């Protein structure tokens, strides 16, 4: 698949990993639609990307809202060939905290946004992709989910987040197998500790300390490096049903 003709739907904050991915598509010559609940940030991000970008305020956990957004994205771009799922929350809490057991509704919210939201965007985008004319390799589209190294080495307090990201990783292979008949590839990226808006809110010394925990390079990951992986997956037909860790070889400790 050629990124210069990509018609991408990117969910998640309209900043950080999602924005970097959309910018990569736009810089290559493609089109991108940003989906996010943050209207102000989303409008600003789309405006900075130019006329081939559009923002649609969307709650990815709401099936009807996503369906409407995907339809609007299809109309704007003339179709969809790439979906990148970056929407998510990282709410943490000990199952047995100082104030008692963690409320199940907190756990369910994380699962609803991170896992169910990824599924909703994926299946709605794939429903549009299956109608594309295949390229000379038989491809009609690519879906990318965002897991996390927490899917492998979740820390204390990350039960909900790890479960949601483990679910994102686990559902990709059966989806890749199901969508193979349509020429749609499905993959997952599992980032390590990256410079995201959430991380940017932490003190500089805390960010530096986290970066030093990475074996090499000993720093936080750049959103552009996530976007590099998106571009690699999109362009390599043989990469399918795979989870790629992008983490500098870090393996997280219990806490």
Q: Which neighbouring-strand residues pair with 191?
A: 246
Query: DSSP string covering 41-92, please?
Result: HHHHHHHHH-TTEEEEE--TT-HHHHHHHHHHHHHHHTS--EEEE-------
Q: Which neighbouring-strand residues pair with 142?
A: 82, 185
161 is annotated as an active-site residue: yes
Active-site residue, selected from the candidate residues 19, 161, 226, 234: 161
Q: Which neighbouring-strand residues pair with 187?
A: 144
* Residue 43 CB neighbours (<10 A): 16
Please, are residues 126 and 143 in contact by the beta-carbon 8 Å criterion? yes
CA dihedral 25, 31, 33, 39 (to 10 degrees): 90
Torsion-angle region of residue 2: left (phi > 0), alpha (psi -120 to 50) or beta?
beta
Q: Which are the catalytic amino acids?
A: 161
């Amino acid at each position: 698949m050629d990124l210069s003709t990509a018609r991408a739907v990117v969910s998640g904050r309209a900043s950080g990993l999602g924005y970097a991915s959309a910018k990569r598509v736009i810089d290559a010559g493609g089109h991108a639609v940003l989906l996010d609940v943050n209207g102000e940030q989303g409008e600003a991000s789309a405006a900075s990307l130019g006329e081939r970008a559009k923002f649609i305020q969307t709650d990815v956990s709401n099936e009807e809202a996503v369906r409407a957004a995907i339809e609007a994205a299809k109309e704007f771009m003339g179709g969809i060939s790439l979906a990148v799922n970056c929407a998510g929350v990282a709410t943490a809490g000990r199952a047995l905290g100082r104030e008692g057991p963690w409320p199940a509704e907190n756990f369910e919210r994380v699962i609803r946004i991170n896992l169910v939201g990824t599924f909703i965007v994926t299946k709605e985008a794939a429903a549009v992709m299956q109608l594309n004319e295949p390229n000379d390799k038989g491809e009609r589209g690519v879906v990318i989910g965002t897991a996390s190294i927490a899917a492998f080495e979740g820390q204390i307090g990350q039960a909900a987040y790890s479960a949601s990201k483990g679910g994102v990783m686990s559902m990709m292979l059966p989806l890749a197998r199901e969508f193979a008949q349509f020429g749609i590839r499905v993959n997952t990226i599992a980032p390590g500790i990256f410079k995201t808006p959430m991380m940017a809110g932490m003190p500089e010394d805390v960010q530096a300390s986290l970066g030093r925990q990475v074996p090499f390079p000993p720093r936080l990951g750049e959103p552009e490096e996530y976007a590099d992986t998106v571009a690699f997956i999109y362009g390599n037909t043989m990469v399918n049903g795979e989870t790629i860790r992008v983490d500098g070889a870090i393996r997280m400790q219990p806490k």
